[in-house]
Amino acid sequence: MTTNNEEPTQTLLAILHSIAPEIEPQDIAPNEPLRDQVDLDSLDWLNFLIKIDKAFSIEISESAYPQLRTLNDIVRYLTPIIGEPEHTQEHSR
């Protein structure tokens, strides 16, 4: 996790916490599939994506679903849409 990702990651964890209040955000591994770590059914997952869609004022297309599995997947998906932070990108695409 690079510092560049911190802000969207925190927002994503806050959204996740609002859906699954039992999670400890610091225990979420950013490169492991979220649904392997958190008990989310298909409606929870849809609600998670709807809240991301709203929080970042973006439009998540259904074709993007398969690539949105981990926390870092979602950050990578969001970055070009919500704009690059000023620092140099350190993480690989």
Partner 1 sequence: MIEFKLPSLGSDMDEGRLNDWRVHAGDTVARGQIVAEVETTKAAIEVECWHDGTVYELLVQPGTTVPVGTVLATLLEPGETAPPTPPDGTRARPAPPAQRTPPPTPPTARPAEAPTAPPARRRWVSPAARRTAEARGVDLDLVTGTGPGGAVTIADVDRTAESPPPKEPSVDRAAGIRQTIAAAMSRSNREIPHYYLTETIPLDTTLAWLEEHNRQRRITERVLLAVLQIRAVALAARRYPELNGFWIDGTHHSSSDVHVGVAVSLRQGGLIAPALHDVPDKPIEVLMAEFADLVSRARAGRLRSSEVSDPTLTVTNLGDRGVESVLGVIYPPQVALVGFGRTTTRSWPIGDELRAMPTVVATLAADHRASDGHRGGLFLADIHARLTHPESLWT
User: Interface residues with partner 1 (CB under 8 A)?
Assistant: 20-22, 39-43, 46-47, 49-50, 53, 59-63
27, burial (CB in 10 Å: exposed 0-12, middle 13-18, buried 19+): exposed
Closer residue to partner 1 (CB): 4 or 12: 12
Closer residue to partner 1 (CB): 4 or 28: 28
In angstroms, give the least distance from the CB of 49 to partner 1: 6
In angstroms, give the least distance from the CB of 28 to partner 1: 16
Query: What would the two tokens of residue 56 be?
Result: 């970042």
Closer residue to partner 1 (CB): 19 or 79: 19
How many residues are present in the chain?
93
Residue 67 · residue 73 · CB < 8 Å: yes
d(CA 80, CA 4): 12
